[in-house]
């Protein structure tokens, strides 16, 4: 029996909303990598829908952060401002 190689993954463009969202959380210390991915997803979802606040999105993610929620929100919003999406 043979197995097929995994499908190739195409990277999103650097200026895409997904890349910007995940890059904005890349410097935030979390318990494990999946917490950072979950946080990035919730930031992306917030950017896409603009429902609620960024602080609500961070809390809703349920990510185990090594910093306070306020510090995480500040770091993310600064990164988003630099990227020009906020």
Domain locations along the chain:
17-83
Question: Where residue 69 falls among pLDDT bands split at 50, 70, 90?
Answer: very high
Rounded alpha-carbon distances, angstroms, from residue 27 to 5, 8, 9, 33, 72? 32, 27, 24, 11, 9
Percent of the chain with pLDDT over 70: 98
Contact 80, 46 (CB under 8 A): no
pLDDT above 90 covers a percentage of the chain that reads 79
Give the residue-averaged pLDDT of 52-79: 96
Cα torsion angle, 8, 13, 23, 42, sign: negative
**pTM of this prediction?**
0.85
């Amino acid at each position: 029996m043979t197995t097929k190689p995994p499908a190739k993954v195409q990277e999103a463009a650097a200026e895409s909303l997904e890349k910007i969202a995940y890059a904005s959380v890349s410097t935030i210390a979390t318990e494990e990598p999946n917490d950072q991915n979950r946080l990035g997803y919730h930031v992306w979802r917030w950017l896409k829908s603009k429902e609620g606040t960024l602080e609500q999105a961070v809390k809703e993610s349920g990510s185990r952060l090594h910093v306070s929620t306020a510090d995480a929100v500040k770091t993310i919003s600064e990164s988003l401002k630099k990227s020009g999406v906020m």
